[in-house]
Amino acid sequence: MLNVADSNSTRPYLIRALYEWCTDNGFTPYVAVHVDETVQVPLEYVKNGEIVLNISLDATSSLKLGNEFIEFKARFSGTARGIMVPVSRVLAIYARENGQGMAFPIQLQSPTTDADADAKPAPSANAASPAMKSTRNLNLTLSGEGVPPIPPPKGGGRRPQLKRVK
């Protein structure tokens, strides 16, 4: 009999499913990521310990949505950068256009041995970490009811976008 603790996390499968749903419907998939020492992103774009990344086919190259990591190359201010995000650090995946998606609880602990796990008390289900509170503030739902579209970045207007003509 398979023990639930031995099974794979559902998180990478849900991320891939929602990524596919976004692309199938012409939406732009974004991931919100809790940044720590395990995340490889341009740190100058990190705000309040989080970064939001556009993972659409137009914004990335060599995208791999694996069970352990999300890896791709993307341009930041014209410079190509390698991005590597552990799946456990993904706070949410959602469509930029309408906010529909799914939020995940953040797993703040690093991998531990069985002896370490026995020594540490399990976190309370009612206790909310700052990362979990920010995840709740994303207010994302699969149904999309009551979720306003994400506004464009403030500044000199919208970023120029290329339109693909076939």
> Taking a C-beta distance cutoff of 8 angstroms, is the pair 29, 23 a contact?
yes
What is the arithmetic mean of pLDDT over 112-137? 40
Q: Is the pTM of this model over 0.85?
A: no
**More reliable by pLDDT, 54 or 144:** 54
pLDDT band at 5 (very low <50, low <70, confident <90, very high): low
Closest CA to 76 of 65, 91, 97, 60: 60
The first and second tokens of residue 61, run together, are 């190259």
Query: How many residues are recorded in the chain?
Result: 166
What is the arithmetic mean of pLDDT over 129-145? 40
> Taking a C-beta distance cutoff of 8 angstroms, is the pair 46, 35 a contact?
yes
- Per-residue pLDDT of 46-97, as tens digits, reads 999 999 999 999 999 999 999 999 999 999 999 999 999 999 999 999 999 9
pLDDT band at 106 (very low <50, low <70, confident <90, very high): confident
Which CATH number applies to 7-137?
Answer: 2.30.30.220
* CA 79 vs CA 37, 74, 104, 136, 164: distances in Å: 22, 8, 30, 33, 22
**More reliable by pLDDT, 141 or 18:** 18
Whole-number mean pLDDT of the chain?
A: 76
- Candidate ranges 99-103, 129-133, 154-158; pick with highest mean pLDDT: 99-103
